[in-house]
Amino acid sequence: MVDLVLRNGWVVDGSGCPPMRADVAVTGDRISAVERVPEGAGREELDVRGCLLLPGLIDTHVHGDALLGDPAVQEAALRQGVTTFVLGQDGVSFAPSDAATAAYAGEYFAAINGPTPAELRGGVSLAELLAWYDGASALNAAYLVPHGTVRHRVLRDAERPPDAEELAAMCRLVEDALADGAAGLSTGLDYLPGRHADAEEIAALCAPVAAAGVPYVTHMRGYEALAHVGMAEVERITALSGVAAHISHYHGPANMLVGLVDAARDRGVDLTFDSYPYRRGCSLLAMLALPPQVQGSVGDTLARLADPLVRTRLDQEWFPAVADTLARLTLAHVPSQRYGWAEGMTLPEAAAEAGTSVGELVCVLLVETGLATGAIVEQPAINTDADVRALLRHPAHMGSSDGIYLGGHPHPRGWGAFARMLGRHTRELGDWSWAEAAVHLAGHPARRFGLADRGRLVRGAAADVVVLEPDDVIDRAGYDDPRRPATGVRHVLVNGAWAVRDEALTGARPGRALRP
């Protein structure tokens, strides 16, 4: 006897092979057979005739670090077939930390990851953070050691390169995190303190990452028109360290971006990337709206914004120069009783409502919320739907949501990115076959992050299984209604336990912390 048999479905096994008609048997937390299983062999049997069975999807870039146990976040992901989050993105998260670094991560990234959970405020090792994730959710979690967190732990807010002793201390933190189960190293080179690091510093930290066989994952120092700058730095880091590289949320004109990836791979760089199927992004309002010289630690930035001379220069020189960018921002997260009404409005709309200038409103919101304001940004007109589709089709591509689950008007990508890739881009547009979809969204990510028993529906693999209706799966979240769950994913198993049954969460928490 086996515990469960899913009968009469079409198995898309994550290898790239076409769907095949087969039963999937589950025993405990493992797949015990993918073949015709005799009738009556299962303690529980479910006929899934007409459905596709896919391996659990892996979100390679998502910001659920503080919210993995939140049922609303679990529903957002599982209703799309996502069973694993890769956390620790963009160089900033909660481990490895002491109390000061844990506070920094929760303050600086408050609009992205959320405040530091109470259980983590004293500081945690990566092993302790993974233990906190284990069994806390219906979702699995892998974790990248964040470069900015490591840098802050050693240098605090110093805006300079580390000396030899400091660099050695940073390397030891990375080595310890890898031993604890980190699935790679992440950087956020448009954020702090990652912005202060050079290629040599990052390459030194990537040497043990390369030895561990896991990737360097980077929010580069340039996207869109500046992608060549970011890519050149990625190539230098890989040349110095021998590490494999993965670019986060790659976006921009595909004719340039695809050429950069192909040229790097032709030169021998082991390079992959992820993207999501939208032409709007979401990030910190401070990062999007303030010049680099004004941005610093939360305290430093607020002090600069309180300086009348700084405000005058911003009003006279900076804000007029970036008026086009500011006009493309929509407020997603404004944690303020006084200004919460502005969520969902563009900056010009909110400024008109407040009776002030756009630049003045930016400063007021940042001061009022302690920089914890998030904004959706419409990408420039040079980025088109054709570019989104071309990136999705590239063989080095993997799926991600870059989901941020905070605020009254978040980006819909956390609720819809994977369902959109399955429904719109696979079924409707044909950018992928179903076999290719399973590779981009499960098989390829599992290999990249060393999750050897995930990403495939084969005997012995972890029983993360998605049952979906191929004619029905689709995203329903949009910019006007961003929290609507997707439809068409009927059932989801995580480690052999029902996480979703008949499109409803079961309340079970079978998710595990995953180590490569």
Whole-model pTM?
A: 0.98
CA distance 434 to 18: 8
Number of domains in the chain: 2
| 117 and 190 co-located in one domain | yes
Residue 321 within any structural domain of the chain: yes
CATH number at residue 150: 3.20.20.140
pLDDT lower than 50: segments of the chain: none
Whether 33 maps to a domain, the answer reads no
Using alpha carbons only, how large is the chain's radius of gyration in Å? Answer: 22
Do 187 and 288 share a domain, yes or no?
no
Q: Strand 271-275 to strand 245-247: parallel, antiparallel, or no bridges (unpaired)?
A: parallel
Q: State how far the Cα of 42 lies from the Cα of 32, in Å rounded to an integer.
A: 11
Same domain, 291 and 171: no
Residue 126 lies in a domain: yes
Q: Cα dihedral sign for 330, 425, 428, 419?
A: negative
The pLDDT score that the predictor gives to residue 382 is 87
One domain for residues 127 and 253: yes
Q: Where in the sequence is the domain holding 149, given as residue range(s)?
A: 57-279+384-434
| Residues 131 and 210 placed together within one structural domain of the fold | yes
15-28: b or e for each residue (b if 16 or more CB lie within 10 Å)? Answer: eeeebeebbbbbbe
**pLDDT score of 67:** 98
Query: Are residues 165 and 258 both part of a single domain?
Result: yes
Query: Within this chain, do residues 303 and 407 fall inside the same structural domain, yes or no?
Result: no
- Same domain membership, residue 74 and residue 202: yes
Examine the domain organization and report whether 299 and 408 are in the same domain. Answer: no
The DSSP code for 144 is: P
Q: Does residue 26 fall inside a structural domain?
A: no
Residue 215: its pLDDT value, please? 98
